[in-house]
Amino acid sequence: MNKIFVNQVGFMPDSKKKAVLNFKAEEFQVIDANGNPVFKGEVSHFGTDEISGEDTYVADFTQVTNQGTYKILAGDVSSASFFVGDNAFDKLMKDVCKCFYYLRCGHGMDKKYAGKYFHEPCHLTKATVYGEDAFPVDVCGGWHDAGDFGRYSTAGAVAVAHLLYGVRFFPMLLDVEFDIPKVSCEKGVLPDILAEVKVELDFLMKMQREDGSVWHKVTTFSHAPFIMPEEDEEELFLFNVSSLATADIAAVFALAYTVYRIVDKEYADKLLNRSLKAYKWLEDHSEAVLFKNADGSNTGEYPENEDYSNRFWAAASLYEATGEKKYYEDALKQKPFIENYDKSDAFKEYTGDIFTCLGWADVAGLGVLSLILQDDESELYTFAKAAILHEADRLVSNGTANGFGLCMKKENFIWGSNMELLKYLMVLTVANVLEPNDKYANTITAGLDYLLGCNSMDVSYVTGNGEKAFKNPHLRPTFAAKLDAWPGLVSGGPNTGLQDERASKLSKNTPPMKCYIDHVDCYSLNEITIYWNSPLVFVLAGLL
Ligand code: G3I
Ligand code: 9MR
Ligand code: ZN
């Protein structure tokens, strides 16, 4: 079928603007809301590529800069509408942030702010320490991870990190308001983003044991059926501690200290103490303590094969928070372990540069962000900067290999491919801070275009944002309540792995970009999680 794929949300006036056609047209027009043509141009033929399965033609309308709502017409085919203007992403940003509020567990919700999406308090009982004869522990609060009700320490730490690095790199994020209850602090009232992040930080503090180590997760033994969170009354278990979770928490608490110390010294000091406690535990346990699900348990595992990048992130983050040389030296010592761990071509093909990976598993890139913030001209700073710029250049070059200008290769279409994309856009965003360049800005724009509708599925992967936004996330609360999904949720997106039953029925020859179904059953294609929303907040913050 002939189609015009376009970002269905919008464009900043000075950004590059393009639509992609999967058919040959002599000419295309941009028409305004009254149907009047404002621009005419010719398409250029790009051809086929290995990711989209389309013979693509590109329609460039960068010259349209006046504020307004438009569509593209070519022959008798019309695109979805989109907006051009300085505030093109304002609603999107608010929606994406508000989703964290809707994912709150425990007593987190208030009808006044949640409206029809309110759910009763949930997961309130104390959690049993799995396999130990210990008193049950109160770990109430935080955010549900995703479509499931699990709460996982590494996943939570990484989502918080994306948001707080967002604040550190782009302080204007502190001005974004998204209609959540106000929270007071020493200096008055917390900015919304810090009030929301505090919910998860408070929970993560509860996940830390007296000895400084951190439980890997708290979940029921098996995933709940598709019921409301408050109806999920199965026993909660705290599964084993891991050095992965402990290091990630050491890192993210140190980062949080650098943000909260400006508004609430006492809270910030508490975070730093907790970080140091976790770090001390890591020093006393130099062997990795990895994580495997208990036999028969099917909730999220978040497995990692080693903890080098986690320890690197913890050291780099504590260095940036305290300025103490000891942590710098620790990060430096950790670096060769990361470098030497897995250098197979397949791994490189899939990850790019390991030092620019931004979670949930490989987190060295988060350490690199701390080193860049420290900006001390040290060997590690120079290394960090070069890693970001080098990876950004690789991504720019990836973008020349398909008609969509998308910085992804076929290997990147795994479970949560939209996060692979958003992590790449974070790298490009940081590169654009370090050395502003149109090539980075244009690749970021093309990535956002893809996410928001300029893709061969012709779908916006953010609920409620775009005329053809996906509608059926794998998400328990809205399904159980028979409601439309909350606006602002990022779908996991196309995944050639096709790992759930419904997805497995798609042909194995489906092009990567089309390995997607907007169906609630498809957890390997269409779930949502906190750490798929969080990198989008960072990227949008870079455009504020
Ligand atoms: O690391 C390999 C790479 O070497 C290989 O080339 C590539 C292609 O096969 O796969 C990579 O591994 C992938 C891994 O994620 C790392 O990204 C696996 O294929 C993929 O199956 C795995 O998916 C994870 C999924 O859980 C299953 O474990 C997702 O990233 C992760 O986001 C998802 O997390 C779930 C939680 O468990 C439970 N809560 C919901 C959440 C989102 O679906
Ligand atoms: O709903 C679960 C989703 O959050 C997870 O990402 C996914 C993989 O762990 O598992 C989903 O739960 C499914 C379970 O694993 C198997 N039975 C069907 C469940 C979904 O309805
Ligand atoms: Zn809950």
- Looking at the chain, the whole-number percentage of residues with pLDDT higher than 70 is 100
Please report the atom of ligand 1 found closest to the CA of residue 350: 6
Domain boundary residue among 40, 72, 88?
88
CATH (domain of 14) = 2.60.40.10
Give me the percent of the chain exceeding a pLDDT of 90: 97
Residue with tokens 């890591």: 282
Question: Pick from 88, 120, 140: which residue ends a domain?
Answer: 88
What whole-number distance in Å separates Cα of residue 49 and Cα of residue 65? 30
C-beta of 302 in contact with ligand 2 (< 6 A): no
Establish whether residue 300 lines the binding site of ligand 2, counting it when its CB lies within 6 angstroms of any ligand atom: yes
Looking at ligand 1, which residue's alpha carbon is closest to its atom 37?
Answer: 300
Q: Would you say the CB of residue 148 lies under 6 angstroms from ligand 1?
A: yes
Judge if the beta carbon of residue 497 lies within 6 A of ligand 1.
Answer: yes
**In this structure, is residue 499 part of a structural domain?**
no
* Ligand (nearest to CA of 476): 2
What pLDDT shows up at residue 351?
A: 78
Asked whether residue 351 is assigned to any structural domain, the reply reads yes
Residues 408-443 have pLDDT tens digits of 999 999 999 999 999 999 999 999 999 999 999 999
Of the listed 54, 148, 264, 420, which one is catalytic? 148
Q: Report the nearest-CA residue for atom 35 of ligand 1.
A: 300
Cis peptide before 360 (omega within 30 of 0): yes
Query: How many CB atoms within 10 Å of residue 151?
Result: 32
Closest C-alpha residue for ligand 2 atom 14: 223
Distance, CA 99 to ligand 3 centroid (Å)? 14
Cβ proximity of 474 and 522 under 8 Å: yes
- Residue from 214, 411, 423, 201 nearest 302 by CA: 214
Compute, in angstroms, the gap from residue 494 CA to the centroid of ligand 3: 28
Gap between the Cα atoms of 448 and 15, Å rounded: 11
96 and 82 in a common domain: no
Query: What pLDDT digit, counting tens, does each position of 115-159 carry?
Result: 999 999 999 999 999 999 999 999 999 999 999 999 999 999 999
Q: Cα torsion for 65, 468, 451, 299, to the nearest 10°?
A: 160
Q: Is the dihedral of CA 523, 525, 528, 530 positive or negative?
A: positive
User: Considering the entire predicted model, what is its pTM?
Assistant: 0.98
Q: Which of 145, 132, 130, 72 is nearest to 467 (CA)?
A: 72
Based on the fold, state whether residues 25 and 132 are members of the same structural domain: no
**Overall average pLDDT of the 460-470 stretch:** 98
| Residue 518 annotated as catalytic | yes
Write down the residue that tokens 């438009």 correspond to.
70
Concerning whether 27 is annotated as a catalytic residue, the answer is no
The whole-angstrom separation of Cα 540 and Cα 139 is: 32
Ligand 2 neighbour 492 (Cβ under 6 A)? no
Asked whether the beta carbons of 303 and 234 are under 8 A apart, the reply is: no
User: What's the pLDDT band for 352 if we cut at 50, 70, 90?
Assistant: confident
Domain that holds residue 54: 1-88
Q: Say whether both 243 and 221 belong to one domain.
A: yes
**Residue 472 counted as domain residue:** no
My answer on whether 123 and 247 are in the same domain is yes
Q: Are residues 44 and 103 in the same domain?
A: no
Q: What is the largest CA-CA distance in the chain?
A: 74
- Domain count across the chain: 2
Q: Is the predicted pLDDT of residue 374 greater than 90, yes or no? A: yes
In a domain, residue 154? The reply is yes
Rounded to the nearest whole angstrom, what is the distance from the C-alpha of residue 417 to the centroid of ligand 1? 10
- Same-domain pairing of 8 and 38: yes
Choose, from 264, 330, 500, 527, the residue flagged as catalytic: 527
Reading the block at residue 476, the tokens are 């328990």
Strand 10-11 with 82-84, pairing: parallel
Three-state SS annotation for 280-347: HHHHHCCCCCCCCCCCCCCCCCCCCCCCHHHHHHHHHHHHHHHCCHHHHHHHHHHHHHHHHHCCCHHH
Confirm whether 419 is domain-assigned: yes
The reply to whether 455 falls in a domain is no
d(CA 331, CA 311): 8
Q: Are residues 208 and 193 in the same domain?
A: yes
Q: Rounded to an integer, what distance in angstroms lies between the CA atom of residue 265 and that of residue 262?
A: 7
152 C-beta closer than 6 A to ligand 2: no
Picking from 47, 63, 88, the residue at the C-terminal end of a domain is 88
Mean pLDDT of the chain: 97
The reply to whether 231 belongs to the active site is no
Nearest ligand, CA 354: 1
List Cβ neighbours of 2 (8 Å cut-off, separation of 6 or more): 21, 22, 23, 75, 77
What is the pLDDT, as a whole number, of residue 350? Answer: 78
Q: Domain check: are 55 and 194 in the same one?
A: no
Centre of ligand 3 from the C-alpha of residue 122, in Å: 4
* Shared-domain flag, residues 28 and 107: no
| Residue 401 DSSP symbol | G
**Using one digit for the tens of pLDDT, what is the confidence trace for 3-32?**
999 999 999 999 999 999 999 998 999 999
CATH no. for residue 277?
A: 1.50.10.10
Cα separation, 186 vs 189, whole angstroms: 8
Q: Looking at the domain assignment, is residue 471 inside a domain?
A: no
| Cα torsion angle, 451, 453, 457, 463, sign | positive
- Whether residues 8 and 155 share a domain: the answer is no
- Nearest to residue 446, comparing CAs of 123, 5, 50, 78? 5
Collect all residues with Cβ–Cβ distance below 8 Å to 283 and sequence separation of at least 6.
none
CA distances from 319 to 312, 315, 332, 372, 463 (A): 11, 6, 11, 11, 39
In a domain, residue 6? The reply is yes
- The pLDDT of residue 343: 75
Q: What is the per-residue pLDDT for 344?
A: 80
Active site residue 527: yes
Q: How far is the CA of 474 from the centre of ligand 2 (A)?
A: 9
Query: What is the pLDDT at residue 134?
Result: 96
Nearest 5°: the CA angle 445, 450, 455 is 145
56 plus 144 within the same structural domain: no
Domain match, 75 and 216 both: no
Orientation of helix 153-169 relative to helix 417-434, angle to 10°? 30
